Structure 1
Amino acid sequence: MADKSTNNIELKVLVDKESNKVIFIEPENDFVDVLFSFMTIPMGTIIRLARKHSDPVVIGCMNNLYASVENIDEQKFWIDICKDMLLHPCNAADHHCNLLKLKLDDAEPRRYFMCWYTSSCKFLSYDRNTSSPCHGGVMDREKSLRLDPSQVGNVFVKGEIRFTVTDDLQVIPPIASTNYVFTKLDVMDVDATEELTINIGTVEMLNLLMTSLVSKTPLTETLLKPKQEPKLSSSKIINQAIHIESQMFGDPMDGDEEGKISVKLVVSKSKKMVCYAEAGEDFVSLLFSFLTLPLGFILKNMKDGSLRGCISHLYKTIRDLDGQYMISNHHNEMILDPKLVPGFCYKNSLLGIEETSYYLVNNMLTTDRSLISTEPSQLKVIGKKDDSALGFLKGPAMFVVTDNLVVRPISRILELHILKDLNVPVTDIEDQIVHVGKKEALHLLLSSFLCDSVLTNTFVADLREPKQEQ
């Protein structure tokens, strides 16, 4: 079953023979490292990898955002590289993920360059021969990234710890008592269980990631019952795990409008739904930026809401491990509070995610401040994308954004087609102006991950009470 073209990982699997379900697995740390690395993968990468399946997983409206980026002319982007940044977003922890036994992302590892005056240079580039702002020469001296000295044979988890991983991806530490584990997992009759040894490769690990987004039993689905992936786009999950209070029609404005994005919604009065929005490049850049965000950042903001899949269980149990099993606090933060690669954030971004910082110590690059005994000097990353850019798109520009986040350049003919498809007469629509700040931006992000009516979910009051999965 495993992918023979890559390294394989051997798993000890305890199975309930009657139901043919995985009770738990006892993996080596190389499996746990890959499992934890799920949190560092940008959504755009997950969508791109999901397309390799015969029946691609549909993750809320993220697939529509990805396709919209593909279909928009490069000329509408700030520079041509912006489109590729969204379709192939970089993982800020890629230097660690490249050490994994099973590497899910097929992207080329990033390289780092400085000028030859490294003792005084404060600039870093991913591109060879970039002009150095400090000395005028070219930045063609390649630098390697320093990792924690204790990171020998491990990536995120330290030592030779033997975790127990349940079918719904709860990670149980070895300090838990045997009685607790067996009782928790309802293992009462040893004769009803069977131990299997299963080898998995990159294909199975990628399938586990995708299945964890849509299933409560991803290990069983991946190891014992491979089948077509269900789609994460059912109306049953609308509003789940969304606990952010946001602006609603008729509400007074929350705070100053300065720095917020103004959007015109076209609403069906009878159906109480958003048909589409007319928005500028600032709002569309916000939506497109969702593709650059690591999965862990989304789950961090999702709190403890109920999902159709069990990926939130994985995040919660990693958080509850309290870092004691991780190589360092820095490694723990990479998983639970993942950051963006410098250059992927933009001025006035509303989501509050930080960029990774790079430091030079003993002529070596590092992202871990704990390895530096003195006050670190942060390097400024320079590239083709200007830090002053207000987003990924040129302005001024106007776009039509449907409720399920299909984005296209503004067109009255297109708007009529949308109304026709929704069976909404022109006499039934009205315009509403809303202002998007940080709360609304986070609500849009979580809605885009969970449901197929993002604008309605975020802005129309009647549909915004969280509903738990039955």
Structure 2
Amino acid sequence: MTTKTSTKTNNLSMKLLIDTKAKKVLFAEASKEVVDFLFTLLQLPLATVVKLLTKEDAVGCLGNLYSSVENLNHIYMQPNLSKDLLLSPTILGSSPSISGLLPSASGMITPKLYGCTNSNCNTISDVCYSRCPTCTTYYMSKEMTTYFKGRAATAASQSNNNNNGFVKEVTTYMIMDDLLIQPMSAISSINMLNKQFNVKNVGILKDTVVQLGINEGLKILKTCMEESGMVLTRVFLDS
């Protein structure tokens, strides 16, 4: 068995319970930070997933869809829409765990804002090349970098319960191989070993602590989108 780790110094960690005979993860014991990260994956639009995995590694034909939009001349788009609406969708209120486990994610969770090209107009929009709704003769194509950063910082500070993630820290969580998550208890763990996994010989069980960093975060993202009920096994045990 080869346990894969990352070089990032502030990785999260979780404890795996492994069936050494079947060579699979039965479940993991994890903190709220790990659960926050996994729940964050539900917030990711498909275009962001393609960016994170790269077009070549995207599941199915998602990479081709992304390339089609990317290569399409904007003159074929509706006049009030920008390709950024599809290629760089906005994610608000993301878990703070995402920044440490998905590369360049911080640049993907804030919207681009555009100002009217009329210097006397202060209208702001998130749709590039649309006609200004205020002066009606100019277009929204001036990227508002400074304004955007200020608004993004304000939105981030107000969102997601003051950046405290999604779940409480009062308990440890059990993560199944297929990413089913529930609060952990000794009784539920014993019942699961007896009834669900039918473990008769505890000698075949082994626990090990693994690191969860950027490499593992990306592998989890990709594997959980595939038709697999063994996400943790594939990410941490498969060599």
Instruction: State the TM-score, normalizing by the size of structure 2.
Output: 0.70
How far is 1:203 from its partner?
1.5
Q: Do structure 1's residue 167 and structure 2's residue 177 form an aligned pair?
A: yes
The CA distance in 2 between the partners of 1:179 and 1:132, in whole Å, is: 63
How far is 1:14 from its partner?
0.8
Q: Which residue of 1 aligns with 2:95?
A: 97
Give 3-state SS (helix, strand or coil) of 2:94's partner. Answer: helix
Q: Which residue of 1 aligns with 2:88?
A: 88
Q: Which residue of 2 aligns with 1:455?
A: none
Alignment of 1:40-439 (within 5 A): 40-51=43-54, 56-59=57-60, 61-78=61-78, 82-91=82-91, 93=92, 95-98=93-96, 100=98, 102-104=100-102, 105-110=105-110, 140=147, 142-143=150-151, 144-145=154-155, 146-147=158-159, 151=162, 154-174=164-184, 177-182=188-193, 183-214=195-226, 215-226=228-239
How big is each residue's C-alpha offset from its partner over 1:69-128, in whole Å with a ceiling of 9 and x where there is no partner? 12322222235972233222222x3x3334546342252552799xxxxxxxxx97669x
Give 3-state SS (helix, strand or coil) of 2:14's partner. Answer: strand
The CA distance in 2 between the partners of 1:80 and 1:199, in whole Å, is: 46
What is the identity, as a one-letter code, of the residue corresponding to 2:70?
E
Q: Which residue of 2 aligns with 1:240?
A: none
Q: Which residue of 2 aligns with 1:440?
A: none
Contact 2:36 2:97 in 1 (8 A): no
How far is 1:180 from its partner?
2.5
Residue 81 to residue 167, structure 1, CA distance change in 2 (3 Å): same
How far is 1:7 from its partner?
2.9
Residue 188 to residue 80, structure 1, CA distance change in 2 (3 Å): farther
Contact 2:95 2:160 in 1 (8 A): no
Give 3-state SS (helix, strand or coil) of 2:209's partner. Answer: strand
The CA distance in 1 between the partners of 2:97 and 2:210, in whole Å, is: 22
Contact 1:8 1:201 in 2 (8 A): yes
The CA distance in 2 between the partners of 1:99 and 1:15, in whole Å, is: 26
Contact 2:220 2:235 in 1 (8 A): yes
Contact 1:162 1:174 in 2 (8 A): yes
Give 3-state SS (helix, strand or coil) of 1:36's partner. Answer: helix
Identity %: 27
What is the identity, as a one-letter code, of the residue corresponding to 1:193?
L
Q: Which residue of 1 aligns with 2:139?
A: none
How big is each residue's C-alpha offset from its partner over 1:27-86, in whole Å with a ceiling of 9 and x where there is no partner? 11111111111111001111222227xx72433x43332121123222222359722332
Instruction: Specify which structure has the higher proportion of helix.
Output: 2
Structure 2 portions without partners, runs of 5+: 114-122, 135-143
Give 3-state SS (helix, strand or coil) of 1:102's partner. Answer: helix
The CA distance in 1 between the partners of 2:197 and 2:70, in whole Å, is: 45
What is the identity, as a one-letter code, of the residue corresponding to 1:3?
S
From 7, 11, 14, the counterpart of 1:11: 14
Q: Which residue of 1 aligns with 2:120?
A: none
Instruction: State the TM-score, normalizing by the size of structure 1.
Output: 0.38
The CA distance in 2 between the partners of 1:71 and 1:222, in whole Å, is: 33
The CA distance in 2 between the partners of 1:187 and 1:42, in whole Å, is: 39
What is the identity, as a one-letter code, of the residue corresponding to 1:67?
S
Residue 63 to residue 96, structure 1, CA distance change in 2 (3 Å): closer
Give 3-state SS (helix, strand or coil) of 2:169's partner. Answer: coil
How far is 1:140 from its partner?
5.0
RMSD: 3.4
How far is 1:179 from its partner?
3.3
The CA distance in 2 between the partners of 1:192 and 1:177, in whole Å, is: 19
Contact 1:45 1:87 in 2 (8 A): yes
